Copies of this chain bind each other. A is one copy, B any other.
Amino acid sequence: MNISETAKWLREHDNYLILTHRRPDGDAIGSAAGLARGLRAVGRTAYVLHNPEITPRYLPYIEDYWASDTFSPDNVVTVDTASRDLFPVNWGDRAEHVALCIDHHPSNSGYAASSCVDSARASCGEIVYEILSQWPGAVDSETAAALYVAVSTDTGCFAFGNTTADTLLVASELARAGAPIARINRALFREKTRARAVLEGFIFSGLEFHFDGRAAISVITGDMLARAGATENDLDDIAALPGSIEGVWVGVTVRELSAPDDCKVSVRSGKDVDSNALCARFGGGGHAMAAGFTARARTDDVKAALIDALGEVFSGKPRA
């Protein structure tokens, strides 16, 4: 369905339960909260299924919309969720019919009875905004705040390569509708926890460069995490750091997990190195520009093996 068909369908039905995805990000949370509040603005009943994996910083935007255990929906709607295996952990294996899916992933599997999918959009929040815009007055300042969280987080505050003129236009209209963008930007993009800052300090000061500066490798030990006082919440997108250095084609993060011989490797690359192919050599995979694997080995051994593998990747690839 296109935007106006989706808006029409949503007005013709009622009693919505909105689902986010596993390990929900800002786009999932903001889209769900914005959709719930927008539907209420036009007189519909709408709740969001509680997602136990939510990061605390997104809670304020959505906690007013969690469904009670007794809520019995007529229609289940998903946002930002490409396939059934990404449904929230507490959805279990309920085979319940999904009436509508609103999403921007090109890989969307088409699991819902109806879908409104636009993969040209940087965030699902943009699509939800376009739907709500069909109803005059449905986007108040709180809805705008939730949707701004969606749009800004999925684009790294408009700095990622997926940002388009449409993204910036939606952000402008959300700011105009009263989203407190200065406060949200400060909390989400300009402020680090103390533990995160100290950990970034360890990472940046300990980076190893190889192959003429084209590969940057960071090893994150359990001891570093402990000394920084870092928890899982402080590790968001930490794998992007080595690749953010000028001249680096591939950034690798080797992170020690609970035991010293158990580690997780994340690879991020530009278009000149295939992260997926590199990780496939170690039994992992992912996408061309972001992939990973886990290994039962010590971080130093994993690093040495990666440097060998990178040597083959860079052999015959002279620096441009």
Q: Which residues of A contact B (CB under 8 A)?
A: 156-161, 163-169, 171-173, 175-176, 181-182, 185-186, 189-194, 197-198, 200-207, 209, 213, 244-247
Contact = CB atoms under 8 A, between A and B. Distances in A.
9 contacts: A157-B157, A157-B159, A158-B158, A159-B189, A172-B172, A192-B246, A194-B207, A194-B246, A201-B204
A313 to B, nearest CB: 20
Given A204-B197, A209-B194, A246-B192, A161 B186 contact: yes
Contacts of A157: 157-159
Given A163-B185, A168-B168, A245 B194 contact: yes
A137 B179 CA distance: 33
Given A163-B175, A167-B172, A168-B168, 6 more contacts: A157-B158, A160-B185, A164-B175, A165-B172, A171-B172, A200-B200
B193 A246 contact: yes
A176 B163 CA distance: 11
Nearest to A188: B159
Contacts of A172: 165-169, 171-172
A247 B173 CA distance: 30
A244 B185 CA distance: 12
A157 to B, nearest CB: 5
Contacts of A197: 204, 207, 244-245
How many copies of the chain does the oligomer comprise? 2
A245 B192 CA distance: 5
A213 B229 CA distance: 14
Contact of A193 (B166, B193, B245): B245
A175 B171 contact: no
A142 to B, nearest CB: 17
A189 B43 CA distance: 43
Contacts of A166: 172
A168 B157 CA distance: 11
A13 to B, nearest CB: 33
Given A172-B169, A200-B200, A206-B201, A163 B182 contact: yes
Contact of A245 (B156, B168, B191): B191
Contacts of A213: 194
Contact of A158 (B171, B176, B246): B171
Nearest to A178: B165
B175 A165 contact: yes
A203 B203 CA distance: 12
B244 A191 contact: yes
A126 to B, nearest CB: 12
A169 B168 CA distance: 7
A244 B192 contact: yes
Contacts of A168: 168-169, 171-172, 175
B207 A198 contact: yes
A170 to B, nearest CB: 9
Nearest to A167: B172
